[in-house]
Amino acid sequence: MASDSIVIVGGGHAAAALCASLVDAGQGHRVELVCAEDVLPYQRPPLSKAFLKEAAEPLQLHKDGSWFAAQGITVHQGDRVVEIKRDSKEVMLSSGRRVGYGHLVLATGTRARQHPELSVALDNVFKLRNAADAQLLRHHLHTAAERELVVMGGGFIGLEVAATARQLNWSVHVLESASRLLARALSPELSEFILQHHNAMGTVVDLGVSIGGFNVQGRTLTDIQVAGAPRKTSSLLLSIGAIPEVELAAQAGLQIDNGVYVDRQMRTSDQDILAIGDCTSFDYRGARIRLESVQNANDQAKVAAATLIGSATDYQPTPWFWSEQGGLRLQMVGLWRPGLAVVPRAGTTPASFSLFHYAGDELLAVESANAPVDHMWARKLIEAGRSPSFDLVADRDIPLKSLL
């Protein structure tokens, strides 16, 4: 048993960032990475954007195999941890291997939410969470004869795929049950702008729709019941959210709270087990939250590395996120919530602007559309805890840089 070794479960952004941070720290720990997917850790954001659009676009690996080998990191590719034995401090893999750990790090991410009435795999129903999903969907988008896509769920992934499919000249119909797009994450003002953008791209977006059921023949979905009427459906993307992969942790008796519960140093309720990335829930300004973003995965990995090498530091995130939807670049920093006062700031073109959101006179969040420079400075303002007055941020002749 290698009692000083660090075993990382998961082969995504958080796992890759943790490997890099441990190597940078140069502490010489033995590291083993168990990756369920049969591919080295890769960048997930392009899967709904450039990777889907370009038939020959390769996966962007975080590091190639020779890097892991050179760092002495053992990668168990295409293998899965099926059980954590906390008493003997070892994990059981689906291949039958047992791997002992000194510290274990769970970086298991999320999985796509399934629709309860569509539990069987159908040839024309797609989801998008990993490289295998993206390869299937890409092949379909580039080869199908009937080019009509129904996207169920107007969240980030659904809208990114909708925009990419339009760019590939598909007709696209987005069905969203809420009364506006991205309602949980974004302000109504930005939602409305995004809706107009998709409409201008030629996408039909139906809001507040109820989906009543699915008709299936063999392995093919033929139509779905929308607002009580059947709608012929030749291709469907199910993008109705993600759920955290917490089963391993739950079976091992770790505390779960809408994600694997972690403290500010990324420790779970077992001090020898840490968790990072999309699968965790953590304290943010007095509330427990879970984030699905590259920023969160990378920053939590750095904090976990510090904990593992004995120089623990607190996770104090400034959440940020981006999305690209057919030429529209969205950037968000801080977390928007209902009830904030909004101050718009125009950008250099009509389609370029930022929205500054305040609780009282405290700047809490900034959303930007096609305004990367303003957004960069807005992020620095939030990171520095600055809250310039409404009239200063609204005046586009005053550079945000000068307000730092």
Which residues form the interface with ligand FAD (CB under 6 A)?
9-15, 34-37, 44-45, 47-48, 80-81, 107-110, 128-129, 157, 245, 248, 277-279, 292-294, 297, 321-323
Shortest distance (Å) from residue 12 CB to ligand FAD: 2
- 3-state DSSP assignment of residue 342: strand
Query: What residues form DSSP beta bridges with 369?
Result: 330, 353
Shortest distance (Å) from residue 174 CB to ligand FAD: 16
Shortest distance (Å) from residue 361 CB to ligand FAD: 29
> DSSP secondary-structure letter at 170?
-
Element (H, E) at 321: strand 320-325
* Amino acid identity for residue 58 in this structure: P
Shortest distance (Å) from residue 95 CB to ligand FAD: 11
Cα dist. 93→81, 87, 97, 286, 297 in Å? 4, 17, 5, 37, 24
Residue 33 or residue 343: which is nearer to ligand FAD going by CB?
A: 33
Residue 48 or residue 203: which is nearer to ligand FAD going by CB?
A: 48
Helix, strand, coil % in the chain, rounded to nearest 5 = 25, 30, 40
Residue 123 or residue 247: which is nearer to ligand FAD going by CB?
A: 247
Through-space distance between the first and last CA atoms of the chain, rounded to whole angstroms:
52
Shortest distance (Å) from residue 163 CB to ligand FAD: 12
Greatest alpha-carbon span in the chain: 64
Q: Tokens representing 277? A: 């990335």
Q: Which residue number has the CB closest to ligand FAD?
A: 12
> DSSP secondary-structure letter at 51?
H
CA atoms within 13 A on the CB side of 98: 8
Shortest distance (Å) from residue 69 CB to ligand FAD: 19
Shortest distance (Å) from residue 40 CB to ligand FAD: 10
Residue 90 or residue 343: which is nearer to ligand FAD going by CB?
A: 90
Cβ atoms of 79 and 97 closer than 8 Å? yes
Shortest distance (Å) from residue 274 CB to ligand FAD: 13
Cβ atoms of 109 and 247 closer than 8 Å? no
Residue 19 or residue 118: which is nearer to ligand FAD going by CB?
A: 19
Residue 330 or residue 343: which is nearer to ligand FAD going by CB?
A: 330
Long-range interactions of 128-136: CB distance < 8 A, separation 24+ = 128/47, 128/48, 128/157, 128/161, 128/237, 128/239, 129/242, 130/37, 130/44, 130/47, 131/37, 131/39, 131/42, 131/47, 131/59, 132/37, 133/47, 134/47, 134/48, 134/51, 134/52
Shortest distance (Å) from residue 76 CB to ligand FAD: 8
Residue 261 or residue 321: which is nearer to ligand FAD going by CB?
A: 321
Shortest distance (Å) from residue 33 CB to ligand FAD: 9
How far, in Å, CA of 92 to CA of 115, rounded?
30
Residue 12 or residue 154: which is nearer to ligand FAD going by CB?
A: 12
Element (H, E) at 392: helix 390-394
Residue 371 or residue 393: which is nearer to ligand FAD going by CB?
A: 371
Residue 293 or residue 307: which is nearer to ligand FAD going by CB?
A: 293
